Amino acid sequence: METKYSVLTVIAFTLVIFTILFLSLIVLKSLGKRALEMRRKYLNHKRKRLEDKAAKLTPVALVEETNEEPDRGEKAAAITMALHLYLNANRDEESEIITIEMPPARYSPWAQKNLVMKRVTRR
């Protein structure tokens, strides 16, 4: 008699688990479809908004092609440096010459831990 109830319990438990799994799959599938639909609406709305903005812009005149070299930023750098020098002119006068030199030795007592750790104190 015990085996009969245990078999029925296992069957009922299995049915409940499969029903829960089936229902959860249906819910997740419907949520996924809804999410895709909402994303599609959002992208369409965004595209329409960008098209409206583009329609409001005035067309830019076409620039004729020239045989000049492409701009590598030298003009922008020169203008930026001139503005920097002009705006900082109220301070002390400096030579405005930048020199970068390597130090003669790479010795740093802070980096040499062996000198600090081996120090013997005399009593």
In a domain, 81, yes or no: no
Distance from C-alpha of 11 to C-alpha of 4, rounded to nearest angstrom:
11
Please give the single-letter amino acid code of residue 23.
L
Kindly report the pTM of this predicted structure: 0.34
3-state DSSP call for residue 119? coil
- Dihedral of alpha carbons 89, 92, 95, 96, sign: negative
Which structural domain range is residue 8 located in? 1-57
In a domain, 106, yes or no: no
Q: Max alpha carbon distance in the chain (Å)? A: 105
Domain count, the chain: 1
44-102 pLDDT, tens digit per residue, is 998 888 888 877 775 554 445 556 666 777 888 888 888 888 887 766 666 677 776 76
In a domain, 91, yes or no: no
